[in-house]
């Protein structure tokens, strides 16, 4: 029996849906067949040891023992499915930072351009914004060390650090005669996973880019503040989960719960029946039953599919867009001790409230909307989906591959978003909106 401590989901971008679970070793021997199987396993392990020693002794160059072991572990896990893997200590720390959504840093969104770091934008009310860092600034040096030659990840790692420590940036700014030196003291930075606004004065638009520890708080804040601003004019909500690769399972559950009064949100089912877990909504629809439309596409995975599936099954929202990624398996993150990283192992599938497994199939929208894609981008705007990954867990029903994941940069060209707005305002009509419960349930 596994002892659950906390649950995490990561989606297509990270290549996995994860459940952080502490496990105890479980070995069962039952009669002669079990003993024979164990003996055969030990023979195979002995073979591995022989190969390992032969490589160490005779390979043309002296190999790194730790890399040999790590490669062997990864090879074993890769033979299971695309989402089981080994994370070294640094990868494990990076994953924890990503899912926590909070770290010591400067508060700058950056990209790499011609080998230098370009500022996309400083995040509001962060040390970078307060120090005067501006969009399109080019960072050439960090603490007098040239950025040229570093990868983007290496540069980001240097900018992150303990809270209240200082770093000096040398910046080249268009229009400035000479480079600018800016000293910044690191502070706690929260990754903005939720962006929201009022569309017109009657529709609340909420974009969720990932499910980290800040997501539910961000969604609740957006719903409360923007609902107050709209007052009696509010027509409904658009929840945009397109190209959202996933994140924390508990956040997917609590975001779903914000729009539900009751009922199951998701279940996870492992190899053994006693490991099944069911997660249910608590009373209190934050939106007071206002209409909801959820946008998904081929890049919506894992936690995003949990939210879309729960709201669809409960007839609480109309799902608009294209079929989602189809990431329906759960991985267990098993820490391996200080400095040893962690094991990511597929241990369960998850199911929507109606019992659907979306593994290798995805969530099918109630209303399919295909975007108009520029000719030069057509070859790169379809996500292949879970079913296209070699070695994926087989789906429980017909598998589906490939779904459009393009989002037009100009909202005016965004057909899915504009349809959602028109449906909420009554400009257009579709039989799938608003969703209705079957007559036998509605009569209760």
Q: What DSSP designation does 201 have?
A: T
Residue where the block lists tokens 């989606």: 11
* Length of the chain counted residue by residue: 444
Per the residue annotation, which of 170, 290, 327, 361 is the catalytic one?
327
Cis previous bond, 271, omega within 30: no
Per the residue annotation, which of 81, 137, 250, 313 is the catalytic one?
313
**Nearest to 13, CA basis, from 95, 111, 68, 80:** 95
Could you confirm whether 327 is annotated as catalytic?
yes
Burial of 104 (0-12, 13-18, 19+ CB in 10 A): middle
CB of 384 within 8 A of CB of 402? Answer: yes
Per the residue annotation, which of 302, 324, 357, 403 is the catalytic one?
302
Burial of 61 (0-12, 13-18, 19+ CB in 10 A): exposed
Residue where the block lists tokens 């880019």: 209
Residue where the block lists tokens 């529709």: 203
Could you confirm whether 290 is annotated as catalytic?
no
Question: How does 399-419 read in b/e, with b if 16+ C-beta sit within 10 Å?
Answer: bbbebbbbbbeeeeebebbbb
What is the sign, positive or negative, of the torsion defined by CA atoms of 35, 41, 45, 46? positive
Beta strands in 91-160 (DSSP E): 102-105, 108-113, 116-122, 138-142, 145-146
Distance of CA 168 to the CA centre of its chain: 32
Residue where the block lists tokens 């909307």: 369
Q: Give backbone dihedrals phi and psi of 311, rounded to 5 degrees, phi first.
A: -70, -30
Q: What DSSP designation does 269 have?
A: E
Q: Is 229 strand, coil or helix? A: helix
Angstrom distance (rounded) from CA 61 to CA 171: 44
Question: How does 126-144 read in b/e, with b if 16+ C-beta sit within 10 Å?
Answer: bbbbebebeeebbbebbee
CB of 104 within 8 A of CB of 188? Answer: yes
Angstrom distance (rounded) from CA 388 to CA 400: 9
CB of 327 within 8 A of CB of 384? Answer: no
Angstrom distance (rounded) from CA 133 to CA 89: 32
Could you confirm whether 46 is annotated as catalytic?
no
Q: Which residues pair with residue 330 across a beta bridge?
A: 348
CB of 213 within 8 A of CB of 100? Answer: yes
The DSSP line for 25-72 is ------HHHHHHHHHHHHHHHHHHHHHHHHHHHHSSS---HHHHHHHH
Known catalytic residues are 302, 313, 327
């Amino acid at each position: 029996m596994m002892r659950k401590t906390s649950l995490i989901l990561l989606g297509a971008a990270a290549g996995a849906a994860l459940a952080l679970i502490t496990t105890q070793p479980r070995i069962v021997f039952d009669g002669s067949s079990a003993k024979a199987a164990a003996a055969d396993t030990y023979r195979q392990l002995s073979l591995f040891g022989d190969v390992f020693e032969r490589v160490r002794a005779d390979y043309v160059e002296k190999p790194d023992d730790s890399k040999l072991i790590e490669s062997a572990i990864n090879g074993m896990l890769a033979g299971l499915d695309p989402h089981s893997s080994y994370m070294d200590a640094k990868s494990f720390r990076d994953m924890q930072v990503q899912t926590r959504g909070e770290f010591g840093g400067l508060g700058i969104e950056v990209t790499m351009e011609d080998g230098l770091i370009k500022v996309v934008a400083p995040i509001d009310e962060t040390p970078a914004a307060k120090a005067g860092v501006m969009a399109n600034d080019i960072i050439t040096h960090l603490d007098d060390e040239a950025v040229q030659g570093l990868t983007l990840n290496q540069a980001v790692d240097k900018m992150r650090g303990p809270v209240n420590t200082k770093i000096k940036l040398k910046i080249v700014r268009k229009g400035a005669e000479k480079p600018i030196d800016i000293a910044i003291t690191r502070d706690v930075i929260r990754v903005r996973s939720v962006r929201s606004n009022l569309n017109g004065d009657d529709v609340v638009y909420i974009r969720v880019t990932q499910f980290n520890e800040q997501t539910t708080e961000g969604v609740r804040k957006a719903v409360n503040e923007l609902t107050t601003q709209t007052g009696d004019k509010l027509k409904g909500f658009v929840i945009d989960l397109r190209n959202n690769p996933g994140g924390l399972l508990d956040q997917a559950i609590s975001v779903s719960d914000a729009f539900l009064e009751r009922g199951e949100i998701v279940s996870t089912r492992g190899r053994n029946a006693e490991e099944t877990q069911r997660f249910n909504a608590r009373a209190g629809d934050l939106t007071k039953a206002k209409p909801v439309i959820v946008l998904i596409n081929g890049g919506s995975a894992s936690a995003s599919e949990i939210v879309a599936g729960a709201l669809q099954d409960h007839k609480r929202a109309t799902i608009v867009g294209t079929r989602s990624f189809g990431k329906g398996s759960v991985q267990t993150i098993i820490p391996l001790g200080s400095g040893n990283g962690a094991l990511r192992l597929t241990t369960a599938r998850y199911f929507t409230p109606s019992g659907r497994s979306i593994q290798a199939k995805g969530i099918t929208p109630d209303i399919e909307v295909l975007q108009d894609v520029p000719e030069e981008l057509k070859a790169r705007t379809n996500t292949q989906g879970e079913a296209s990954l070699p070695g994926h867990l087989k789906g429980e029903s017909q598998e589906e591959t490939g779904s459009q994941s393009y989002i037009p940069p100009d909202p005016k060209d965004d057909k899915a978003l504009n349809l959602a707005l028109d449906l909420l305002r009554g400009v257009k009509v579709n039989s799938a909106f608003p969703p209705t419960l079957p007559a036998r349930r509605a009569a209760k």
